[in-house]
């Protein structure tokens, strides 16, 4: 049986960043689902983004 390899510092740092991003996205998703004010804010943001994207494509 081969001995277990210890993960490098780079791998550990990347895993930490990835897990932090996933937890942040999950927390934001729960906030959006539960709070009508944040639903309105995110909805307005994505609506503005869609309008901007359409204005670029239509030209």
pTM above 0.75, yes or no: no
Q: Domain coordinates of the chain in residue numbers?
A: 26-59
What pLDDT sits at residue 1?
Answer: 67
Read off the tokens for 36.
């009508």
Please state, for a pLDDT cut of 90, what percent of the chain lies above it: 68
- Using one digit for the tens of pLDDT, what is the confidence trace for 42-54? 899 999 999 999 9
If you average pLDDT over every residue of the chain, what do you get?
91
Q: What is the mean pLDDT of residues 27-50?
A: 91
Cα angle, residue 32 at apex, residues 29 and 34 outer, rounded to 5°? 110
**Does the pLDDT of residue 7 top 70, yes or no?**
yes
């Amino acid at each position: 049986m081969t001995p277990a390899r210890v993960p490098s510092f780079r791998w550990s740092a990347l895993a930490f960043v990835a897990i932090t991003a996933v937890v942040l996205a999950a927390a934001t998703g729960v906030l959006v689902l539960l709070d009508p004010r944040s639903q309105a804010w995110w909805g307005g943001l994505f609506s503005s983004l869609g309008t901007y994207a359409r204005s670029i494509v239509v030209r």
